[in-house]
A and B are shown apart, each in its own frame.
Chain A
Amino acid sequence: MGFKHKDIIALRDLTKEDIELLISTAESMREINSRDIKKVPTLRGKTIINLFYESSTRTRTSFEIAAKRLSADTVNISPSTSSATKGETLADTALNLLAMKPDIIVMRHAVSGSHYFLSKKIPCSIINAGDGAHEHPSQGLLDMLTIKDKFGRLDGLKVAIVGDITHSRVARSDIQGLTKMGSHVFLAGPPTMVPPGVEKLGNVTVCPTMKEAIQDADVVIMLRIQQERQGKTLMPNAREYSRYFGLNPENLKLAKPDAMVMHPGPINRGVEMSSYVVDGDQSHILKQVENGVAVRMAMLYHVCGGELAE
């Protein structure tokens, strides 16, 4: 037992045991976040670069706090998209950063798979903070931790994921992680937002309507709908989307009485979720944010595990 990966790019690349270890470490890390002195010396002297090609206050802040609580030094870099397209290639940017001897690069990038590309170029650890529509492993892990907090297990749960599956890296990480851990994932969304073959990713069922997905669900994960997709080819508008794929107190009754509701944020109140649900008793959205720090501490800790044993 032990974590043998230099990078964490996708939950697809991790085993069930890897995921269990990360979740268990996150559970231990949580204690630090409840202290007066929220800091341990573990990663003292380590340098972590947060390289965010897409803006994300939430994820970047969460990674930064996680790093600081482990005593690592952090630097945030957000190359503006325009200068990145005009000038330096990703590989050159990374090689330049590498010359400053970071131990971990946490990167968000709009192109799926760019972390694998980078991983072949540079020896330091790479953590994926979201790549295109591919994966968002820290979100997947924190979702699993939040679910485990409530049910004590992930095995045998019915988890509904509703929304734009095609463009969602959160959905892919949730599907990869949850199905590995024994949950049964039910998907619903307009067929324009459900990608082909998604049911082959694991124990996944694609439902024709939202109702069938959330019926008797233990967990309902609502995905953010990109407002900019309105009026284009994927859906008529937010109003109609909300009517058929929005979560409200009425349709939430279809789920189990103690079902938990989650959302990766940021939320479009009144579109994918009614405020009554966002702020309701069944909402675990802020728990997710809280768990995000612990999960990212666990990720940073384990990828920093020194030379790999050959």
Chain B
Amino acid sequence: MNLLIKNGRVIDPSQGIDDMLDVVVEKGVVKEVGKGLKAPAGAETIDAAGKYVVPGLVDMHVHLRDPGLEYKEDIVSGTRAAAAGGFTSVACMPNTKPVIDNKAVANYIIAKARAEGFANVFPIGSITYGSHGERLAEMGELKESGCVAVSDDGKPVVNSELMRRALEYARGMGILVISHAEDLALVGEGVMNEGFTSTELGLKGIPSAGEDIATARDVMLAEYTSSPLHIAHVSTRGAVRIIREAKARGVKVTCETAPHYFSLTDDAVRGYNTNAKMNPPLREADDVAAIKEGLKDGTIDTIATDHAPHHIDEKDVEFNVALNGIVGLETSLPLSLKLVEEKVLTLSQLIEKMAGNPARILGIGRGTLKAGAVADITVIDPAVEWTVTGEGLASKSKNSPWLGEQMKGGAAYTILGGKVVFKRQ
């Protein structure tokens, strides 16, 4: 597991590096980043000319569906998709069957990922037992068994008192709470964003106020309890504004958005496209602009995919019947690189949001190329052009709104602990 990656443009925001440098990996850890480095004994050499060499990307919000829903995805296929997308670490949400609300499930995931996976998997435990929203899960044990955060993702903690106590209790246990911010009463039977498109298509709308209100509640509870809070999948201009103001007040809140929220609007639903059905729903152009603004000014800390694989039988149905969510691990990098092209972010800022920041939020010690760090490295080919196809996706599920579309940029090599786990053909 010795490597020399030479001639690449090394970008490591954790060290303020953005230069044409070489990287030497020995025994699975980064030994040195510098100019004109020599290959260590028995090292494989990767020529990264024309490519970016960055800390392995971290996706803090994926659904691996394992255990229990392996017909959609499992830890092997999901981490293979992660590797193909340039991700060396993923944090998986607890809405599996059974829910990650105990040590046994957390241990299973960690063990299976270590044995068979193509990426580091960090489980996220549930906030409440069974994610039923009724009583707190054993967060202390979850943390001890390797969970890096807690969340009832997929649904909000409806009871405000319970959410308040969750924030307080989690703070005591030193584990982060991730909020799925959604006011279920306002969502009602909605199936897409409420706006002109829902009016024209005659589909029940989900008002953006539903996300804003839930975000505001959880931000206020975090402020009141002085607890850290992370808001998942921010999609509205209102939520961005609320988080921006909270950060300015010193609230310990971080947040993520997903590539689809800065790449698509609810126009993508036209034709009743179930691969454009997700929760939160795709919003409007003003929201997309606000998400980009939030990324630019630092309100939004990280880009996470909310990778949500679903079987074709769950998507190839009438719109209302289709399940929410899309796969995202393999399209995140090219879609995010567009932000650099559009000058929303510098390349260094983008890498920070896709590696350093999520690693820091979760406290997993990744996302850096400092000497001595685990050699999780992604070599990005910014120029490679490829087409998204069902067969081409490593994920078991093919529910992507970009099927058939051309992408620019992607992982050339994904290196996990000094070992190449993905190489673009």
Contacts and interface: CB of A to CB of B under 8 A. Distances in A.
A131 B321 CA distance: 14
Interface stretch (A56-64, A68-76, A197-205, A296-304): A197-205
B195 interface: yes
Given A197-B195, A200-B196, A112 B203 contact: yes
B111 interface: no
A133 B319 CA distance: 13
B199 A201 contact: yes
A117 B204 CA distance: 17
Contacts, number: 67
Contacts of A90: 317-318
Given A116-B271, A196-B195, A12 B200 contact: yes
A229 to B, nearest CB: 13
Given A90-B318, A113-B272, A117-B272, A131 B202 contact: yes
A13 to B, nearest CB: 11
Which of A89, A91, A112, A201 has the most B CB atoms < 10 Å from its CB? A112
A256 to B, nearest CB: 29
B205 to A, nearest CB: 7
13 contacts: A89-B313, A110-B320, A111-B320, A112-B201, A114-B272, A117-B272, A133-B202, A133-B203, A133-B204, A134-B203, A196-B199, A197-B195, A201-B199
Contacts of A116: 271-272
Contact of A196 (B205, B313, B321): B205
Given A112-B203, A133-B202, A196-B198, 13 more contacts: A91-B317, A110-B320, A112-B202, A113-B202, A113-B272, A113-B318, A114-B272, A117-B317, A134-B203, A166-B199, A196-B194, A196-B199, A200-B196
Interface residues of B, number: 21
Interface string A131-159: 11111000000000000000000000000
Which of A114, A200, A201 has the most B CB atoms < 10 Å from its CB? A114
Interface in A92-133: 109-114, 116-117, 131-133
B195 to A, nearest CB: 6
Q: Is the interface of B mostly helix, strand, loop or mixed?
A: loop
A6 interface: no
Interface residues of A, number: 26
Interface of B: 194-205, 271-272, 313, 316-321
A134 B203 CA distance: 7
Contacts of A132: 202-203, 320
Contacts of B320: 110-112, 132
B321 to A, nearest CB: 7
A111 B321 contact: yes
A180 interface: no
Nearest to A173: B202
Contacts of A131: 202
B318 A109 contact: yes
A82 to B, nearest CB: 15
B312 to A, nearest CB: 11
A46 B221 CA distance: 66
Interface in A172-219: 172, 195-198, 200-201
B423 to A, nearest CB: 37
A137 to B, nearest CB: 12
B143 to A, nearest CB: 41
A195 to B, nearest CB: 4
B317 A195 contact: no
Nearest to A12: B200
A81 B118 CA distance: 45
Contacts of A201: 199-200
A195 B198 contact: yes
Contacts of B319: 111-114, 117
B201 A113 contact: yes
Contacts of A195: 198-199, 205
Contacts of A134: 201-203
Nearest to A118: B318
A284 interface: no
Contacts of A197: 195-197, 199-200
